[in-house]
Structure 1
Amino acid sequence: MKGKLFYIGLLVSFLAAGIAHYAHLDTTWQFVIACVAIVFVAGFLGRATESVAHYAGDRMGGFLNATFGNAAELIIAFFLVKDGLFEVVKASLTGAIIGNLLLVLGLSLFAGGLKYKEQSFNVKLASHNSSLMILGVVALFIPALFARGLTTDETSSMSMIVAIILIVAYLLWLYFSMVTHKSVLSDEAIEHGEAAWSKGTSIVFLILATAMVAFTSEWLVGTIEEVKDKFGLSDLFVGAFLIAIIGNAAEHSAAVMMAMKNKMGAAVEIAIGSSLQIALFVAPVLILLSFFISGSPMNIVFTTYEIAAIGVAVFITKSITQDGSTNWYEGLLLMFVYIILGVVFFLV
């Protein structure tokens, strides 16, 4: 019965969000309805991902969810880049990274920790994730530090080169973690139980859920400008928190569901893997795409606020996950840091 009610809610909310958007209802109502729809769509994506993970394994399932979950951010950012709104893109990328590390992972640790006293995952995977996160911080910090001494053309060239290096590093990480060292970085075998759907149906539903996330995200983003002006929100807060939370809705649901089923390896792969994918792949790809779709490339120079926020998020996440075990209190710590950053970004 609960399953039927969920799918009824999914269908009704999605259709209502579409009608509200295309019928041009009041912007605030469009925003609220789209938010409700994303909650259901994210839940649908989480169920589809869990079913795929039954056949693909926890690490691959987490990677697929991170990839499909980031589709919304990539689509949103693509249109922002097309319009030349580079600073908003950077703010949204910053928000997506810290949102995954602090909010998504924090909620997962907290929810899973309430049910299980302590949860564990592969320590070697945690170590490699930490190294990659630090690489992401270095790749943002160094260009920002030296950008003042470079011309516009030199900054653009530097951004393109760094972007290519990060993409290569990410692709080699996938090869390392899923081919040459797959057995070393995999968690111990976990009992999955029965999958909700067949393998083929699970894949179809995963693609369908991703498309629904993209649609609802686009409808929601279309209302943000007016909502921002109506409630007096800053561009930095909107880009780094509102858009990021909206884009991360899929990961929120899926990661928490995995943690509550004691699949912390998959939950960590969703949260941290998604941040790594944004920092090492999505952001560099957007920099390269900007050269072709806007005529002038977006540089990789982030503001001091953005770099500080990412650095803090990486530091505490590394500290908490480096031993390969988690509990509910560590989840609260991550969420507290996220709230502190949210307050500061709101006031700035």
Structure 2
Amino acid sequence: MEAEPPSPHLIRRRSTLLNWYSENTMKTTCGSRYVKALWVMVPFGIAAGALDWPAELIFLFNLAAIVPVASSIASAIEDLSTHMGRISSGVLRAALGNPVELIIGIVALRQRQLPIVQSVLIGSILCHSLLILGASILFAGYDKEVLEFDRTVTNIMSSLMTVVSVSLTIPTFMSFTAHPSDTTLSHDLLIVSHITAVILFGLFFVYLHFHLNTHASLFQNHPVAQPSMREGDRNAQDEGLSPHPSRDHVIASLALAISTLCLVLCASYLVGSIDRLALTMGVSKAFLGLVIIPAVGNLAKYIGIVAASPQQIDWSIRELIGGVLQITLLIFPVVVILGWMLAQPMTLDFDMFQTTVFFVAIMVMTYIIQDGRTNYFEGAVLMGTYIVIAVALYVRPDQEHVIAV
């Protein structure tokens, strides 16, 4: 007697489980294993800071510790998102999408390291718009004559990014063009920065409403726009299965809380060691804040974006643009408003060189992606531009740009 063939329902269940297992196994064996190994640096980093070890060790250990901690925060957010609605999960990702920049910015603000706050945030934008975008295009298009991607949503996001970037540079140009005898400049810059921060913070919620409500169909029409909800995950939920059966929302919430606490501790010791490290090693604080901390702190996130680019270049580009928007619309306003509340002279008046490279990076990124076509050579050019900027920051001495009130 021949065995009855399995039903289509059973086949789909087996296929869903197999797809989920293969995807998660691949992630664990290819990247997560090495990132998780860096968790050993967390107790070393905290001990180095608490026991006042040499600045080089404090900086190195805590910088390495931030990598797995940031990756754990991202994983916990994704796990929590599976137990939340579309809008709630979207808000959660938007608010905590760049935890390294947010926590380091707040910690540096509390320690009165205002130039470090500005440097880390601008450096992260440079990484997103030049280094990682270039690496993604190079990796995805090295074997293609032309690399094409959808430009409908990309152009909307890049246009918004350009307008917001212009708003951020207005206080700097106001300071640059002011008369040297203007005795009220510091006060005026604070007022302009505070008003700009409030407006940008309000625009962040408008952007969320646009992205998650009124124009959600633009993003939902493209599956790669939300990679956390892959086809296998949707099928698994349809069948009553959990796409992450080993972790529920309680464990994810606990992991998020513990990882955030570790990030706060490591960031506190990391920022506290910058002055001594710059003095003992002869390295400018601007180079540490603009290049080293953003590039290394988000290493796991950047590797994931670049690794996904050959199959999901649309998602990689949108993820990078979304990261820039989160920094400009959320994190910059938050640190300025917190400085206002803490009576700290935190303004949007940046060093002119940093402002120039920031604005150029945004313009170049917009130019590269505006037509929906690129090639690996343009990716190499973006990476080369970032390297040139990094070398210039390395050889350039620090320009203290804190406005005293």
> What is the TM-score of this pair, normalised by structure 2?
0.72
Does 2:286 align with 1:252? Answer: no
Q: Secondary structure at the match of 2:222?
A: coil
**What is the identity percentage for the equivalent residue pairs of Structure 1 and Structure 2?**
27
Deviation of 1:54 after TM superposition, in Å, equals 7.1
Deviation sequence 1:61-84 (CA, Å, 0-9, x none): 898556435222222222322333
Could you tell me which residue of structure 2 aligns to residue 27 of structure 1?
Answer: 55
Deviation of 1:338 after TM superposition, in Å, equals 0.9
Does 2:206 align with 1:172? Answer: yes
Match of 1:37 among 60, 65, 70: 65
Q: Which amino acid aligns with 1:164?
A: V
Match of 2:327 among 240, 262, 278: 278
Deviation of 1:238 after TM superposition, in Å, equals 2.4
Q: Cα gap change, 1:254/1:47 in structure 2, threshold over 3 Å: closer, same or farther?
A: farther
Could you tell me which residue of structure 2 aligns to residue 97 of structure 1?
Answer: 125
State the aligned residue count.
Answer: 346
Inter-partner Cα distance in structure 1 for 2:143 and 2:271: 35
Deviation sequence 1:185-241 (CA, Å, 0-9, x none): 345235554645556255654555444444433333333322222221123222222
Higher relative contact order (CA 8 A, sep 6+): 1
Deviation of 1:279 after TM superposition, in Å, equals 1.5
Q: Cα gap change, 1:6/1:341 in structure 2, threshold over 3 Å: closer, same or farther?
A: closer
Could you tell me which residue of structure 2 aligns to residue 135 of structure 1?
Answer: 163
Q: Which amino acid aligns with 1:158?
A: V
Match of 1:341 among 362, 373, 389: 389
Inter-partner Cα distance in structure 2 for 1:209 and 1:48: 9
Inter-partner Cα distance in structure 1 for 2:256 and 2:313: 21
Equivalences for 1:198-209 in 2 at 5 Å? 198=247, 200=249, 201=251, 205=255, 208-209=258-259
Q: Which amino acid aligns with 1:282?
A: I
Q: Which amino acid aligns with 1:26?
A: P
Could you tell me which residue of structure 2 aligns to residue 224 of structure 1?
Answer: 274
Inter-partner Cα distance in structure 2 for 1:101 and 1:265: 15
- Structure richer in helix, relative to its length: 1
Does 2:318 align with 1:318? Answer: no
Does 2:88 align with 1:88? Answer: no
Q: Secondary structure at the match of 2:98?
A: helix
Q: Which amino acid aligns with 1:161?
A: I
| More deviation, 237-246/270-279 | 237-246
Deviation sequence 1:3-23 (CA, Å, 0-9, x none): 595486144233333333334
Q: Which amino acid aligns with 1:279?
A: T
Inter-partner Cα distance in structure 1 for 2:300 and 2:123: 15
| More deviation, 192-201/84-93 | 192-201
Deviation of 1:289 after TM superposition, in Å, equals 1.4
| More deviation, 90-99/10-19 | 10-19
Inter-partner Cα distance in structure 2 for 1:252 and 1:95: 14
Inter-partner Cα distance in structure 2 for 1:236 and 1:207: 31
Q: What are structure 1's unaligned runs of at least 5 residues?
A: none
Q: Secondary structure at the match of 1:299?
A: coil
Q: Cα gap change, 1:240/1:291 in structure 2, threshold over 3 Å: closer, same or farther?
A: same
Inter-partner Cα distance in structure 2 for 1:224 and 1:217: 11
Does 2:283 align with 1:233? Answer: yes
Q: What are structure 2's unaligned runs of at least 5 residues?
A: 1-24, 225-229, 234-242, 397-405
Backbone CA RMSD of aligned residues: 3.5
Q: Which amino acid aligns with 1:218?
A: S
Q: Which amino acid aligns with 1:146?
A: M
Q: Cα gap change, 1:341/1:54 in structure 2, threshold over 3 Å: closer, same or farther?
A: farther
Inter-partner Cα distance in structure 2 for 1:78 and 1:63: 20
Inter-partner Cα distance in structure 2 for 1:170 and 1:338: 28
Q: Cα gap change, 1:83/1:28 in structure 2, threshold over 3 Å: closer, same or farther?
A: closer
Could you tell me which residue of structure 1 aligns to residue 222 of structure 2?
Answer: 188
Deviation of 1:112 after TM superposition, in Å, equals 4.0
Deviation of 1:181 after TM superposition, in Å, equals 0.4
Deviation of 1:254 after TM superposition, in Å, equals 3.8
